[in-house]
A = this chain, B = another copy of it.
Amino acid sequence: MKNRVRIKDIAEKAGVSKGTVDRVLHKRGNVSPEARKKVLAAIEELDYQRNIIASALAYNRVWKIAALLPRPEEDPFWQQPKLGIGRAHRAVRDYGVTIDFYHFAEANANEFITASQEILDGEYDAVLVAPIFAKEGHDFLDRCQDKGLKYVQINTYLPREDENFMCYIGQDSYQSGMLAAKLLSLGMAEGNAAMILHLEKAVYNSMHLVEKEKGFTDFFNQNSDKSISLFQTSFEDIFNKDAFANFVEKTLDQHPEVGGIFVTTSRAYHLVEALERLGRSQVKVLGFDLIKENLKHLETDRIHFLINQNPLKQGYLAIINIFNQLVLKKDVQKIQYLPLDVVMRENMQYYVNVEEELHLII
């Protein structure tokens, strides 16, 4: 590593010792104005940049990060961010970063509260959280704020202004609705209808579902080259297959002109299985997330489009961003939207592969 400017070089140039340079660099005080000036001039002139490697080695400290996510055993979606966090951890481990996982059930806000309390008591440097409960999420982040604990949000965005909010990594739900509408509209003819289907409990507590629906309807309002009618439905009890098939059948009978169905959650595969039972597979289906169950149907073109939420990347980038800010002291962007990947049978393999093998520094 020749030619790289070292602290020692600055010290020589400025005619002081490396200790003084160090005090200037770290703003530790106890430096005379003249010495300070000479050091700063030397830093400027030689274009000094701290050697991160040596710095990390010398620091020899532990950066404690907590990750607070829904239980991955219950929903395959949440395995992906956890995987991404693990990958990122391997990339930054040698800098002294440790990560502890805390989990809660997706339907259980109390578990969220309990886990978040443990984190607050745990002397962490930063926390990565998926604040899927709006109220409890805000409460937790308020307390992080009080305690001076830095946090990164993934997947769900709770708008925040305080100093400790590092960044949000996730999707633009509204725009994903727009994109869904565009994709479904491609194959639809004049007079067709588009159906919005929420397969989730308590839809209107989930801001991102509301936003998706809004984007979807706005697209059709703004693009009126074909006249397409819209309607919205939802169904909660998806594990009751008969009831669900009945519901689908009745809805389609009422709306025989349906040309496309927008499933706002990751459960498009349930719809497809119902459609198949009913022998109504000609309608186009769009859903979210590259989970196994969906991919199976994408491969046979029964699901026509999936929008990828990049959950692995969400976890990966959240850790990398914490690392950049905490350890490398870089500024990071507050809102980081991941791309809305359009996945079809013809390009799915690459997204699935990428999930398997994110080719970054390990």
List B contacts of A361 (CB < 8 A).
91-92, 320, 323-324, 328, 360-361
Contact with B along A88-113 (1 / 0, CB 8 A): 00011011100000000000000000
Q: Are A347 and B175 closer than 8 Å at their CB atoms?
A: yes
Residues of A within 8 A of B (CB-CB), count: 56
Q: Are A178 and B330 closer than 8 Å at their CB atoms?
A: no
Cα distance A52–B93 in the bound complex, in angstroms: 9
- CB contact under 8 A between A96 and B1, given known A91-B361, A186-B187: yes
Q: Are A182 and B1 closer than 8 Å at their CB atoms?
A: no
Task: Tell me whether A337 is interfacial, beta carbon within 8 Å.
Answer: yes
Copies assembled: 2
Task: Tell me whether A203 is interfacial, beta carbon within 8 Å.
Answer: no
A359 touches which one: B320, B340, B342 (CB < 8 A)? B320
Q: Are A350 and B362 closer than 8 Å at their CB atoms?
A: no
List B contacts of A359 (CB < 8 A).
317, 320-321, 332-333, 336
Contact with B along A316-346 (1 / 0, CB 8 A): 0100110110001010110011111110111
Cα distance A354–B310 in the bound complex, in angstroms: 13
Pairs A-B, 4 closest by C-beta atoms:
A339-B350, A342-B342, A179-B346, A340-B347
A-B contact pairs, 21 of them (CB 8 A): A53-B53, A53-B57, A175-B347, A175-B349, A178-B346, A181-B346, A182-B346, A187-B187, A320-B359, A320-B360, A321-B359, A323-B361, A328-B361, A332-B359, A338-B350, A339-B351, A340-B346, A340-B347, A340-B350, A342-B342, A360-B361
